[in-house]
Amino acid sequence: MKENTLPKKTTILWQVRIISITLCLVALCLYFSNLFVYFKIAAIVIAVLGLLITFLYLPFFFKGYKIVLTNDAVVVKYGIFIKTEHIMPYKRMIYAQSFETPLARKFGIAAVRLKAARSYLLVAETEKQSVEAIIDFLAEGERNV
């Protein structure tokens, strides 16, 4: 059994993403605040929620994110308030695919998508060496099944 956790880079990547989206939404609300006063209130609410998600929720979420490779399946565990555990047996897996966004490429991390007949499992961004190790482990597991 092989267990992986996510690197700090993953949290920073998602913090950059959330802050960027928050800034765009706040700018739009402030731009249209001349039309309706409520857009100023919306800008404040969006800014506060964006900061809470970025600096409180995301670090806890990714700290508890675990990827476990057993002899029979890939298990992904995550969640803060609602704990979720996804199990994808090797026998049902069709393929494993790694991908990276341009921003993730700058951080040196990539995500993995595991595809089964009727579903898929997305593993959050992790170090490229870990992604290659996961795919190699899965390829080795397929030969042994």
pLDDT digits (tens, 9 = 90+) for 73-112: 889 999 999 999 999 988 888 888 999 999 999 999 999 9
Residues comprising the chain, all counted: 145
Instruction: Count the alpha carbons within 13 Å of 141 in the hemisphere toward its beta carbon.
Output: 23
The verdict on residue 2 lying in a domain is no
Q: Is 69 in contact with 90 (CB distance < 8 Å)?
A: no
What mean pLDDT is predicted for residues 60-73?
A: 90
Q: Is 76 in contact with 6 (CB distance < 8 Å)?
A: no
Q: Are residues 73 and 107 in the same domain?
A: yes
Q: Are residues 46 and 104 in the same domain?
A: no
Q: Are residues 95 and 138 in the same domain?
A: yes
Q: What is the pLDDT of residue 69?
A: 85
* Structural domain harbouring 34: 8-62
Q: What is the pLDDT of residue 143?
A: 47
Q: Are residues 118 and 82 in the same domain?
A: yes
Return the minimum-mean-pLDDT range out of 25-34, 44-53, 90-99: 90-99
Domains contained in the chain, number = 2
State pTM to two decimals: 0.85
The domain boundary, picked from 62, 80, 98, lies at 62
pLDDT band at 1 (very low <50, low <70, confident <90, very high): low
What mean pLDDT is predicted for residues 113-126?
A: 90
SS3 label, residue 68: strand
